[in-house]
Amino acid sequence: KMAVSAGIGFFITFVGLQSSGIITKNDSTLVTLGQLTDGAVLLAIFGIIITVILYALKVPGAIFIGMVITSIAGMITGQIHTPTSIVGKIPSIEPTFGAAFDAFKDPGQLFSVQFLIVILTFLFIDFFDTAGTLVAVATQAGIMKDNKLPRAGRALFSDSLATIVGAIFGTTTTTSYIESSSGVAVGARTGFASVVTGFCFLLAIFFSPLMAVVTSAVTTPALVVVGVLMAANFAEINWKQFEIAVPAFVTIIMMPLSYSIATGIACGFIFYPITMLITKKHKQIHPIMYVLMILFILYFVFVHG
């Protein structure tokens, strides 16, 4: 669980650095340092420095203030286009609402191997992305009790319901988002923070032109700082026990390298039972772990093979 939290910290940091152009693709080495003279990259670096300084000084709302300052700096330097208006037209949901039910017009499409693979793939990604996010955010918030997430069933049910409703409206999967860790970083500890976030999203619908100033360069500092905070979970992992260190390390490193939280968790779930079996500590493993190990191996063979 600590490895999942730390791995997600690495993952969101990598996503932020990549989206802002600080890290770019390279044909020889896959990734490399971007053009540091580029305006957008310089703006992101400026934002990181400002946010780090504010957080180090323990300024309340340091991450949010850092984003505001970065946005203002971007508009002053011309890296971010100044909004021409504040209130915008609400987009229509007519083109996508209910489109998910079109497949039911042809039942033959619903009972095929291809469709089953798609369903299982989405189930795998959604469930373990959500599980990883919940553990990571709860760990950062300090609300884990006896290494367990309180009321996990309710959290998963809420996520599942949101996924279904989101699909009906035609949106991408409305799953639990790791950006919640930004709120936790500035003091959020209860569900009220999520209610406020949801209300702000509703307001943002009316102010879409204003939201255009929140570019990748603006969000990168928040992702980097939160990544640093989540990396603190490294200290909770017993690296001296090789059977623990291997699955933990694999989980952490595979998240950014595979660009998938779920894949990192799957790899860790495969190695953990193996190392525990070899060191004759199999009695400490819940039987469900062996089942998951086999399922993940089959998933990689048949889906990514």
Model confidence pLDDT, tens digit, residues 235-293: 888 899 999 999 999 999 999 999 988 888 889 989 999 999 998 887 888 888 888 88
Question: Are residues 272 and 289 in contact, defined by beta-carbon separation less than 8 angstroms?
Answer: yes
Three-state secondary-structure class, residue 24: strand
pTM of the model: 0.74
Q: Could you state, in order of their start, the residue ranges of all structural domains in the chain?
A: 1-82+213-234, 86-211, 237-305
What's the chain's average pLDDT? 85
The predicted model gives 44-59 an average pLDDT of 94
pLDDT of residue 91: 77
pLDDT of residue 5: 82
The phi-psi region of residue 280 (left if phi > 0; otherwise alpha if psi is between -120 and 50; otherwise beta) is left
Buried b (16+ CB within 10 A) or exposed e, 266-276: bbbbbbbbebb
pLDDT level of residue 305 (50, 70, 90 thresholds): low
Q: How far is CA 164 from CA 29, 127, 249, in A?
A: 40, 13, 34
Report pLDDT for 147: 73
Q: What is the mean pLDDT of residues 182-191?
A: 78
Percent with pLDDT over 70 in the chain:
97
Out of 65-74, 120-129, 193-202, 259-268, least confident range: 120-129
Residue 303 has pLDDT above 80, yes or no: no
User: What average pLDDT does the segment 178-183 reach?
Assistant: 74
- Does residue 153 have a pLDDT over 90? no
The per-residue pLDDT for 184 is: 80
| 3-12 tens-digit pLDDT | 888 898 899 9
User: What does the pLDDT read at residue 211?
Assistant: 79
